[in-house]
Amino acid sequence: MNVAFIINPYSANGNYQPFLDDLSAKIDNPVFLISQSLQDTADFIEINWDRTDVFVAVGGDGTISTVAKMLINSDKILAVFPAGSGNGFSRETNFSKNITLLLEKIKNEKFREIDTFTVNGHFSINVSGTGFDGKVVKEFEKTNRGFKNYIKVSIETFFNYKPIHIKFLDSAYDDLNGTYLMLNVANTRQFGNNAYIAPMASKSDGLVDLVLVKKFPVYYSPFFAYRMFT
């Protein structure tokens, strides 16, 4: 199978050279793009479309979603080399940071179909939401990546964040209307770093899970974190 790699140069703290060195040691003249923009990625996929079977997203969930959106409803295959901060989607689909295993999966054609979804026209492949976690993501993007910074931003945001009001248009769900810390639509179980927001979600059941989290006292935070990470 013909493979092309799309690399987000800002993932893994910008240190993508070890990946390229490893890739070049295993594949002669690998086809790859160090993407500088969404248009860059789109042009690369279009140029290589007819001669490529598998497009490998090298990055985090944002990179994966960008590539997946361009492959949906086609016979092209998405593969992943995780290089993000949380790597939620790659953890849920058993992609590891082992390029040898990745190439073996591709060679053995171990593929499966999964679900995707849209929210207000925005494509998603993992977990989308609004409220507290959305604010955390925005603040996190202003920092250096890393799990420790994510925890720091989460704690700082928690103390300053005002809950959102949720109202369902279908009267059958009137009892769920109210004020919440966040709302999440989950195609897979976790945000990333094995933090599970929707433990029963499945990426291939044709459904998404809706998760509502009410604001809770700060002293409950350790228990909430424990529940997510176990």
Closest CA to 6 of 141, 108, 47, 188: 47
Query: Does some domain include residue 119?
Result: no
The pLDDT of residue 147 is 73
**Which pair of structure tokens corresponds to residue 173?**
């769900």
pLDDT at 158: 83
Segments forming the whole domain that contains residue 191? 126-228
Q: What's the pLDDT at 57?
A: 98
pTM: 0.88
pLDDT of residue 160: 83
The 3-state secondary structure of the chain, one letter per residue? CCEEEEECCCHHHHCCHHHHHHHHHHCCCCEEEECCCHHHHHHHHHHHHHHCCEEEEEECHHHHHHHHHHHCCCCCEEEEEECCCCEHHHHHCCCCCCHHHHHHHHHCCCCCCCCCEEECCEEECCEEEEEHHHHHHHHHCCCCCCHHHHHHHHHHHHHHCCCEEECCCCHHHHHHCEEECEEEEECCCEEECCEECCCCCCCCCCCCEEEEECCCCHHHHHHHHHHHCC
Residues 5-49 pLDDT 10s? 999 998 877 789 999 999 999 999 999 999 999 999 999 999 999
- In this prediction, residue 114 carries a pLDDT of 95
Do 104 and 166 lie in one domain? The reply is no
Number of domains in the chain: 2
Kindly state whether residues 87 and 180 are assigned to the same domain. Answer: no
What is d(CA 187, CA 189) in angstroms, rounded to the nearest whole number? 7
pLDDT for 71 equals: 97
Q: Which residues of the chain have pLDDT under 70?
A: none
Structure confidence at residue 198 (pLDDT): 95
**Under 8 Å between Cβ of 14 and 85:** no
Residue after which a domain boundary falls, among 88, 112, 136? 112
Indicate whether 138 and 203 sit together in one domain. Answer: yes
CA 132 to chain centre: 17
